[in-house]
Amino acid sequence: MLTATVLLAFALTRVVRTPYYTLNLSLAGIALTFSVNLNTAIAILAAGLSATGVVWLLHAHPSLEPGETVEHWLLPMLTTLVIGVTLYTLPSGFVWWAGFGIGGILLVVVFLAEYVVVDPADTRYPLASAALTALSFAIYLILAVTLRSVGARLLLLVPALFLAGGLATLRTLHLRLNERWEFGWALGIALVGAQLAAVLHYWPLTPVRFGLILLGPAYALTGLAASLAEGNPFHRAFVEPAVMLGLMWGLAVWFG
């Protein structure tokens, strides 16, 4: 029911046509112009609906501890926002409906996985935890590719990827480190990703190559942070992140 409600909100954006409103802002002498309409509000409201819906869903879990819901709505909210942004940029027709269906599948997987990881003793916990980690960075990749494909301005690109990278890293570290919050690592990795995105913004890269180049350091640094926090020596903790970074950048060259 929760997934259907969110998808219904996105479907309405293709049926209800509303006028655009232009917002003109000035930041440090730089003129910024934003075009918004009802679809923008729907995407934000849908993200809020996902967050509150997950909280409602988890309250039926017998192992839920008081105040243990914050970490469980971060990824659903981010997933819904990214799906909304992606659907907003896709053309009408088969491509849009394919994206709509894939988005629905992603939402179902995220909601179910968040429900399972409430209880670390659940036999499905390792699989659900791995799924959430993979989805966190998949959502980050989708957002990077989408923003690049629509030619988003630097002042929109950097904050969006900073927020998405920070949330993906924070959720992954929280899962791997037995529910420890690593805000410092998440902030640092998000800053590295945002700075790299700012540099790559001016390079003639395809959207897929742009996304993979950003995904490599984000995933590798998150893995390195988790290994070091678990007490592994640096020479051992460095191996897996280095391999994954090489793999991601190798794919970026291949898809270039």
pLDDT digits (tens, 9 = 90+) for 157-169: 899 999 999 999 9
pLDDT at position 28, please? 61
Q: What is the pLDDT of residues 182-195, one digit of tens each?
A: 889 999 999 999 99
Spans of the chain, pLDDT less than 50: none
Residue 170 tokens read as 């924070």
pLDDT at position 36, please? 65
How many C-beta atoms lie closer than 10 Å to residue 208's C-beta?
18
pLDDT at position 32, please? 64
Q: Do the Cβ atoms of 117 and 132 come closer than 8 Å? A: yes
pLDDT at position 11, please? 86
pLDDT at position 150, please? 85
Residue 91 tokens read as 């053309």
pLDDT at position 170, please? 92
Residue 206 tokens read as 């395809």
pLDDT at position 169, please? 93
Residue 44 CA to residue 28 CA, distance in Å, equals 27
